[in-house]
Amino acid sequence: MGRKTLNNQVQHALTQKAKIGESRHKAKEELRQEYADKGEKMNFGVAVDGIHSIKTYDVYKGHCERFTAWCIENKGVNKYAKLESIKQYAPEYLKEREAQGLSLYTLKAERAALGKLYGEQIPYKFEKARTYKDVTRSRGAAKRDAHFSEEKNAPLVALCRGTGGRREDISKLTKECFFIKDGNMFVRFEQSKGGRDRIAPVLKNYQEQIKELLDKTENNKLLFDVIHNGCDVHGYRREYAQELYKTVCNDEKLKAEYSKQYAPRNEPNIKGSVYRSHEKERPFVGERDNIYIVSQALGHNRLDVSVNHYLK
């Protein structure tokens, strides 16, 4: 058998780590339990083994192949070199990519890809810190909005605004995903981002429209076969988060009912019940328990993600 190129080695290494179809959320819970069994706490940012989605696999493979190409072109590395021998260049590669002005999102994805490739965290810290000002997605009018009529797509808009689902979540919904408990309507998102299942309250303002949609849909049939490309699903998701937050802040009874769907908030290193952001230009103060409900409904564990991306 001939020698393997660096890209052949990348593909082999990532394929060995592929766990497509397995729940990443379950794997993380199992890892957290392993730490607990040893009397230790799993630090934030500890990665679980494996790659749990084909999309992530393809993205990581692309990032790693760009790294090998850079090593060949800039470091004079032979394309048949050992993959382990070029690991030393990973921090330098990331530094150059940062100097090129790439977004912090892309840079972190590249670092994660290389970390997954080598099975260890790449020792490089990016200089640019991301603030709420860098989060611009769905915070203004986009060209595609002009080609989407909310009036003509009212059932879809109500579904998005009422459930806060991601585009992929919405595309997988059937009437069986919805249920009533103690008079409140909920939706169950299965295998959402990261393979995580979650439950989200359905906002009362949209329940009647959603019920009409469910009544018109056959059992086990998708509510929508196609999600209009012009539909700003993420924008509606942000509206959902803000409306849900207002609801739990103003309605203690409903807040208590929604809380029953989630495990108790667990932040052992946090003192006090109030969340305070550190952004001077746009501060945010709120009750952690209220933000926690929104975070769980959105499928996020970190409260700051919900605050910076949705509530500010």
The per-residue pLDDT for 218 is 94
Domain 6-130 and domain 143-311, same fold? Reply is: no
Q: Compute the average pLDDT of residues 165-174.
A: 94
CATH of 6-130, one of 1.10.150, 1.10.3470, 1.10.10, 3.40.1350: 1.10.150
Integer Cα distance of 259 and 250 in angstroms: 14
Lowest model confidence (mean pLDDT) among 134-143, 173-182, 220-229: 134-143
Amino acid at 248: V
Stretch (H or E) spanning 188: strand 184-189
The per-residue pLDDT for 144 is 46
Domain boundaries, the chain: 6-130, 143-311
pLDDT at residue 18 is higher than 90: no
Lowest model confidence (mean pLDDT) among 27-41, 84-98, 101-115, 158-172: 27-41
Lowest model confidence (mean pLDDT) among 50-64, 137-151, 259-273: 137-151
Amino acid at 86: I
CATH of 143-311, one of 1.10.3210, 1.10.287, 1.10.3470, 1.10.443: 1.10.443
pLDDT at residue 214 is higher than 50: yes
Whole-number average pLDDT of the chain: 87
Give the number of other CB atoms < 10 A from CB of residue 133.
11
Q: Write out the two tokens for 29.
A: 């819970």
pLDDT at residue 260 is higher than 50: yes
Lowest model confidence (mean pLDDT) among 24-33, 175-184, 276-285: 24-33
The per-residue pLDDT for 32 is 76
Q: What is the pLDDT of residues 131-164, one digit of tens each?
A: 545 555 455 554 445 568 888 999 999 999 999 9
Entry pTM: 0.60
Q: What is the DSSP letter of 141?
A: -
Distances (CA, A) of 254 to 41, 88, 234: 33, 54, 25
